[in-house]
Amino acid sequence: MKTVINIVLGLCACALVYICYASIMGPINFDNEKKIRDRAVVARLIDIRKAQQEYRMLHQQKYTASFDTLIDFVKNAKIPFVAKEGVLSDKQLEDGLTERKAMAIINKAKKTGKWDEVKKNGLENFKRDTMWVAVIDTIFPKGFNADSLRYVPFGNGKQFEMATKSDTTKSGAPIYLLEAKTPYTVYLNGLDKQEIVNIIDVQTKLGKYPGLMMGSIEIPNNNAGNWE
């Protein structure tokens, strides 16, 4: 009988040790895994921001709310790249010469074949050539998969929520807003449910978005991320 009691007590002791261990390590393991997933989601949001910034440059400062449109842009669009050779000296700048005026003089010489003014202004080695380069080769590393932009890492196929908005400043100037986001419930799915509930509760009480978000269609913030 004594032996049975000792075995039961031993099992109870082991159970208590496990419960204590789990209560300590559970939150630590959750936090470590959350950091891994946070980094992956943030990286993807930064990729979306880079793509949108380039898209905006060629579309009258407007963003797109469509991932189909954004991904097609990344895959197929080209953006201007100015190859520069030579710089204007302080003396040339003091004389009122600008890069625009310098190129006007050079372009005129190319058309007329008369290079006297180019030589007079010391622009023989001044060049500005515009080349058109593929977006995907310019802002992303080699082998980048543009189709991945829409998908939330660890989200089991879920997509980011993306929206745009047109507004005006107090002075009446147009302003274009963008946001892309995903809630904790999407990319932390599969982790401890109570821990997810806890961080959502904290963010909600603080009046913050319970997840990761880049930009905002409510308040202009220069497309900053809520992790920055």
pLDDT along the chain (228 residues), means of 10: 58 52 68 97 98 94 97 93 86 89 90 91 88 87 94 97 91 92 97 95 95 96 95
Query: DSSP string spanning 20-73?
Result: HHHHHHHHHHHHHHHHHHHHHHHHHHHHHHHHHHHHHHTTTT---S-HHHHHHH
Farthest CA pair distance, the chain:
114
Contact 81, 132 (CB under 8 A): yes
| Secondary element (H or E) of residue 19 | helix 2-57
d(CA 210, CA 213): 9
Distance of alpha carbon 94 from the chain centroid: 40
d(CA 217, CA 122): 50
pLDDT of residue 73: 97
Angle between helical axes of 2-57 and 67-76 (0-180°, round to 10)? 70
The structural domains of the chain, with segments of one domain joined by +, span: 30-77+144-215, 78-136
